[in-house]
Amino acid sequence: MKRIGVFTSGGDSPGMNACIRAVVRASIYHGIEVYGIHRGYKGMVKGEIYKMDSHSASNIIQKGGTILRSARSKEFMTPEGRKQAYEQLQQHGIEGLVAIGGDGTFTGANIFYEEYGIPTVGAPGTIDNDLYGTDFTIGYDTAVNTALDAIDKIRDTADSHDRVFFIEVMGRDSGYIAIPCAIGGGAEIVMIPETETSIEYVVDTLRTGWNRSKTSFIVIVAEGDDAGNANEIAAKVQHELPHMDARVTILGHVQRGGSPTAADRMLASQMGVACVEGLLQGRKCEMAGIINRELVYTPFIDTITKDKLINPQFLKLVDILSV
C-alpha cells in the first residue's frame, strides 16, 4: 500500500486533529503518501481530496474540532453516490482509508468495502464513548471535563439560591458522559438511557433530601433518557414538589468543542498510528481501540451491533455518595 486517505465523519470530537496528525506523521514515517478528504463521505463523493505532508499536520494537536471538517452525506447512502466516491479515490490512487468517527462512519465503510473492496481501519472519534471495542473514545475525556466544569459552576449558584438544577448532558443513547459527571459533580441523581429511572424515584429522593434539611440538588440527565429531556423531567418534578425552585441547564454542543485533554491527545495519537499500521498489516473493516491499556482491533460489525454496557457499580456509587 503506497497511498491512503484520511477523513473525519459524523459529530466532531476534541482530539480528532491529534488523530489526523498521527495518521499523517505515521504515513510519512512508513513511506506512504497520505491524502486528506474534506467533509467526510460528502467530500469523498465530490472529490474534495488533497495531498497532505508533515507541515499539513503542524500546530493542530491542541485544537478542537477537525481541520478536515465533517458532514453528513445523503449521496453516499446511495449506490450511485458510493460509485462516485470510489471513482474519486481511484483518480487519486488511494488504496486504503482511515476513518475517524463513530458507528455511522463505520457502517458506511463496511458497505463501501463490500461493494468496492477499499479497506478501511477506523479510529473511534465520538464524545459519547458508546463504541464496543474500546474502553474510551477520542473526545470523551475532554467532553466529561468540559461538562464537569460547568456543573461545578452551577453547583455554586444552586447552593446560593436553594435550587434544584436538572442538567442535561450529551451522549445520544448512552449514559457514559452522565455517570462520571454525576459522581465527579456530586449529583444526587443520574438518569441514563440504559436504566429506567421513574419520576416517582426522583421526587421521593428530592423530598427525602429536603426533609433532611438539604436545600440544593443536582440531577444529571443524559439526553436520551426514557423519562424525557431535562425540561420535561423538571416540569413533572416541579408539579409534585411545587415548593422547590427547579431550574434547567442544557449544556449542549459546548461539550464537543475545546482543546483536548492530555488523555485525549494521547489516545488519538495512539489510534492514528494504529490505523496506519493496521492498513499495512492488511486489516480491513476494523476499528483500533484500547482495552485494559492494550491495543486491540475490533471488526466494524461488532462495534456497530454490540452494546457497550454500563458498569452497574457506578450507578450504586451515585446512590451511596448522595446520602
* Residue 126 known to bind ligand: yes
Sheet of strand 245-250: strand arrangement: 189-191, 217-222, 163-169, 245-250
Q: Cβ contacts of residue 247 below 8 Å, gap of 6+?
A: 158, 163, 164, 165, 166, 234
* Residue 88 known to bind ligand: no
* Residue 24 known to bind ligand: yes
* Residue 203 known to bind ligand: no
**Between the CA of residue 288 and those of 73, 105, 202, 315, what are the distances in Å?**
24, 14, 39, 28
* Residue 184 known to bind ligand: no
* Residue 188 known to bind ligand: yes
* Nearest-angstrom CA–CA distance, 131 and 7: 18
CB 193 within 8 A of CB 173: yes
* Residue 69 known to bind ligand: no
Helix, coil or strand: residue 106: helix
Of 12, 128, 141, 225, which residue is the catalytic one?
A: 128
* Residue 21 known to bind ligand: yes
* 128 assigned to active site: yes
* Residue 163 known to bind ligand: yes
* Residue 305 known to bind ligand: no
- H-helix segments, the chain: 16-29, 40-46, 79-91, 103-116, 140-161, 178-184, 199-211, 230-240, 262-280, 300-305, 312-321
* Residue 16 known to bind ligand: no
Task: Kindly list the catalytic residues.
Answer: 128
Binding residue positions for ATP? 11, 72-73, 102-105
Binding residue positions for substrate? 126-128, 163, 170-172, 223, 247, 253-256
Binding residue positions? 11, 21-25, 72-73, 102-105, 126-128, 155, 163, 170-172, 186-188, 212, 214-216, 223, 247, 253-256
Binding residue positions for Mg(2+)? 103
